Amino acid sequence: MTRRSGRLHKRSENAPGQKSKVAKQSNRKRVQPLSKLHCEKNQLVLEGITRPCVLVDTPMKGVRIDGDGGSLVRPSPLPHLGWGSSDDVWVKMVSREQSYRHSKSFMQKHPTLQPRMRSMLLDWLIEVSDEYTLHRQTFYLAQDYFDRFMSTQSDVEKSMLQLIGITCLFVASKMEEACPPKLWQMAYITAGTYYKEEILKMELIILKALRWNLCPETAVSWLQLYFQMASMSVDSDLLEPQFPQDAYIQMTRLLDLCILSINSLDFQYRVLAASVLCHFLQQEAVEKLSGLSKDVLQPCLNWMAPFVETVGRCGRAATRDFASVKDDGHNIQTHTDYMTMLKDACKNEADSQFPTPPSSTEKTDAH
């Protein structure tokens, strides 16, 4: 429902001066290449090259669409649409979700990789998106491309992750943005680690591996749809987003944090988005507008609880103004200290798996 959101807010004034803007010193901290990023607290380093790996451009095997718990909902939870059948739109959206499969099991194909490397890569892509004022949908498309591409490969080395990630973002920006960053800008942001020719070569490999299937319903597009349905007026047709922007920013911060965890891939994007919304609206209302039952949502809600706790301790996310997209700032992907937040959330998650033992006064007599 949010496809090509960037084209609705064309940033034509940025096009001629974008190159000079990136080349000159920015007031913000310059984005560093992933290969040089360090997380000293947990000693995560992605430096060094081990051995070259061969990427396969063989297309993914066809996926048969099967029904699962709460997948297809009839009647459609979408309201009446003046421009099309709500039932047809809903079926197409859910069918697309089922055909664009993702799973955290792809890590088993890459023995030298660890889940935290994916987290660091996605965190860096959020930084790049922030630096180039890209839309949230652009980042989430890149995240989906990366996870699905890695499912088609095996034995990918960590030295290749940055190239794969920046190429996925390059493809996503061309799909979503009215004025996507130039190829040289994507190479520039890696601090010379990769050349333009390498990105172009990787682009073709990724496109072939994904069979040019580049239009998934992302987690953030589901979130925007649900929140728009919850906030819509009687005569709304869902063509133009109409919802409280500040509340949406709080929701997307929680979603951003969750998507960095590889365990988020245990859930469909629409389940993940609905679970985020449940922490801001009544669960019964979310179940009605999403068409998802409590039994479908509850496992995701339980998993998400430590992330909600972490976000709650960080206070409210600040609303930022973007001169180039004055009316669309809430849809621009922004970065914060997600890696520290993720570490805290994972600690909360681990602690919750070990119940607190009863006190001595609560213990029953053994006799």
Q: Which positions ≥6 away from 131 have C-beta within 8 Å?
A: 22, 26, 28, 31, 189
* pLDDT (tens digit per residue) in 42-93: 333 343 333 446 676 655 443 333 444 444 555 778 777 766 777 888 888 8
- The pTM score is 0.79
For the chain, the domains span: 99-216, 217-353
DSSP 135: B
Task: Report helix, strand or coil for 95.
Answer: helix
- Write the CB contacts of 243 (distance below 8 Å, at least 6 apart in sequence): 224, 227, 228, 230, 231, 232
Query: Which are the contacts of 177, defined by CB distance < 8 A and separation ≥ 6?
Result: 6, 7, 134, 135, 138
- How do 38-39 and 44-45 pair as beta strands? antiparallel
Q: How far apart are CA 120 and CA 126, in angstroms?
A: 10
Q: Which residues pair with 135 in a beta bridge?
A: 332
Q: What kind of fold does domain 99-216 have according to CATH? A: Cyclin A; domain 1 (1.10.472)
Tokens encoding 50: 């081990």
pLDDT band at 37 (very low <50, low <70, confident <90, very high): very low
Asked whether the beta carbons of 251 and 223 are under 8 A apart, the reply is yes
What whole-number percentage of the chain has pLDDT above 70? 72
The string of pLDDT tens digits covering residues 211-240 is 999 999 999 999 999 998 888 765 665 556
Residue 228 CB neighbours (<10 A): 19
Beta bridge partners of 44: 39
Name which CATH class applies to 217-353. mainly alpha
Q: How far apart are CA 157 and CA 81, in angstroms?
A: 47
172 or 3, higher pLDDT: 172
The model's pLDDT over 257-292, given as tens digits with 9 standing for 90+, comes to: 999 999 999 999 999 999 999 999 999 999 999 999
**What is the rounded distance in angstroms from the CA atom of residue 364 to the CA atom of residue 118?**
47
Q: How confident is the model at residue 325 (pLDDT cuts 50, 70, 90)?
A: confident
Give CA–CA dist 141/148, Å, rounded. 11
Do 99-216 and 217-353 share a fold?
Answer: yes
* Long-range contact set of residues 45-50: C-beta below 8 Å, sequence gap at least 24: 46/117, 46/120, 46/158, 46/161, 46/162, 48/159, 49/157, 49/159, 50/112, 50/157, 50/158, 50/159
- How many alpha carbons lie under 13 Å from residue 121 in its C-beta half-sphere? 27
Q: How many CB atoms neighbour CB 321 within 10 A?
A: 8
Region 158-165: mean pLDDT is 97
Half-sphere exposure of 333 (CA within 13 A, CB side): 34
